[in-house]
Amino acid sequence: MNPGNGILLSVLASSLLPGLVIFAIAEHRIALRTTLNLLGAVVKLVLVGWMLWGVAHGQAYELRLALLPGLDFVLRAGPLALLFVTLSSVLWLLTTLYAIGYLEGSPHRSRFFGFFSLCVTATVGVALAGNLLTFLLFYELLTLSTYPLVVHRATEAARRAGQSYLVYTLSGGVLLLAGTVWLYSLTGTLEFRATGFVQDLDASHHGALIAIFWLLIAGVGVKAALFPLHGWLPQAMVAPAPVSALLHAVAVVKAGAFGIVRIVYEVFGVEQAADLGVTLPLAGLAAFTILYGSLRALYQDDLKRRLAFSTVSQVSYIALGVAIAGPIATIGGLVHLVHQGLMKITLFFCAGNLAETLHIHRISEMDGVGRRLPWTMGAFTLAAFGMIGLPPVAGFVSKWYLGLGAMEAGQDWVVLVLAGSSLLNAAYFLPILHRAWFRAPAGDGFAAAGGRHETGWLLLWPPVITAAMSLGAGMLAFIPFSPLEWVQFIGRREFIGYE
């Protein structure tokens, strides 16, 4: 038996089991629930750290269980999988802390944390999936386990948002299923491989392969919020802030983006994909989404909706980097998976603090809020700078590699897209910062802070930590185990062409 079996199952179980137990915990037993939540999150983090160390030293972890004849349930912890697993696990711990503070005193917390843990399990499963079927299983599980969180507030608006969320994501799931089963009928395997597994098919199947590519991409593109499949994301903002933060800024959209990476590189193989002529249209679609999302963000007054459209735009950087099909651009795309996650979760935490502490939901209400919530708005500012791509925050590193990679691949137009998008980012973030820091509060100003802190410490520390991490990921980009170093390690280990 492979030594990886135990640890891979434990990584899943560390959120699955607490989740299932939490469903059964009575609403008022806060201490027990919190202990379970944090225990699971910490255990997961330790296990992930262990695997990171192992993989960096050449260890491979694989778990294989027979599911159907010829098709296994496969979990495999390679460098690429661990990139996403680490991101999810670290942010899960922080978001759990945040959610405990945010939901204090609100009803149905057992249900909330139960499904929250299921979502994390599904996300980690998406990352660790070793073949397309396993990926599909966890991808759909993620859809189903996020739904109760979207409708958590139990209002009519929440119900409608949930309905629209499912219409989008389940339709995507059907396309993904169609592509997967079609591909399986052609190849007889669904195992992810560094150079893809479709190269043995002869030229007569090219038409089918192109159709399968778009089916699969449309399937994961819904979660990655690729235009025109992005409509669910702004609507899903009706969910509580921790959900928006972890799931709709990180887990769900990243599951889609991560799927694009897997499909382009490990299903089709980047060279075959380029030969089929599908990467350029994908890059074009991603570029369009980047600009479109930014433009729509400009016109939102609701803070969370503006952030949501910003997510639509930013997640497509990952797709763009992958679709340019050059090694350096791919590095840029992959590292943005982490960088965007850190920055966007900070922004959503801060938006949650504004809503929870001061009941501010709209940008037009944010005048002078920096004086009342200096730490929160400080973290927000840092993350916004990162989004715009200002050095030394992490976003700059991503954009640098994306631009460089595009030039190297001879796709100079991408640089224009990046520049245009940065301008638009500045255009929708800087006015917020200006209002917060340089305008006087309207009317009688904000109520003074109650305690020693500007808000509850559980609400304050997570955004401050993630903001610091975004800064660190940019400033210390070249130390071992930094996101960039790890992505370069992926490039050397899993994809051809990065030296």
Note whether 184 binds another protein by CB under 8 A: yes
Q: Closest Cα partner for 137 from 171, 180, 166?
A: 180
Q: Please identify, among the stretches 103-111, 256-264, 444-452, 467-475, the one whose residues bind another protein according to the rule CB under 8 A.
A: 103-111
Q: Please identify, among the stretches 66-74, 273-281, 321-329, 392-400, the one whose residues bind another protein according to the rule CB under 8 A.
A: 66-74
Among 21, 25, 30, 141, binds another protein (CB under 8 A): 141
Size of the site for another protein (CB under 8 A): 35
- The first and second tokens of residue 271, run together, are 């060279």
State phi, psi for 25 to the nearest 5 degrees: -85, 135
Note whether 38 binds another protein by CB under 8 A: no
Note whether 156 binds another protein by CB under 8 A: yes
Note whether 107 binds another protein by CB under 8 A: yes
**Cβ 134 to another protein shortest distance, Å:** 10
Among 97, 136, 233, 354, binds another protein (CB under 8 A): 136
- The first and second tokens of residue 161, run together, are 């948002």
**Cβ 135 to another protein shortest distance, Å:** 11
- The first and second tokens of residue 299, run together, are 């016109």
**Cβ 180 to another protein shortest distance, Å:** 9
**Cβ 324 to another protein shortest distance, Å:** 32
Among 58, 69, 105, 443, binds another protein (CB under 8 A): 69
**Cβ 483 to another protein shortest distance, Å:** 31
Q: Please identify, among the stretches 174-182, 241-249, 284-292, 447-455, the one whose residues bind another protein according to the rule CB under 8 A.
A: 174-182
> Are the C-beta atoms of 343 and 470 separated by less than 8 Å?
yes
Q: Which amino acid is at 288?
A: F
Q: Tell me how far apart the alpha carbons of residues 464 and 455 are, in angstroms, rounded to a whole number.
A: 12
Among 43, 74, 94, 158, binds another protein (CB under 8 A): 158
User: Residues interacting with another protein, by CB under 8 A?
Assistant: 66-69, 107-108, 111, 136-137, 140-141, 144, 147-148, 151-152, 154-156, 158-159, 162-163, 166-167, 170-171, 173-174, 177-178, 181-182, 184-185
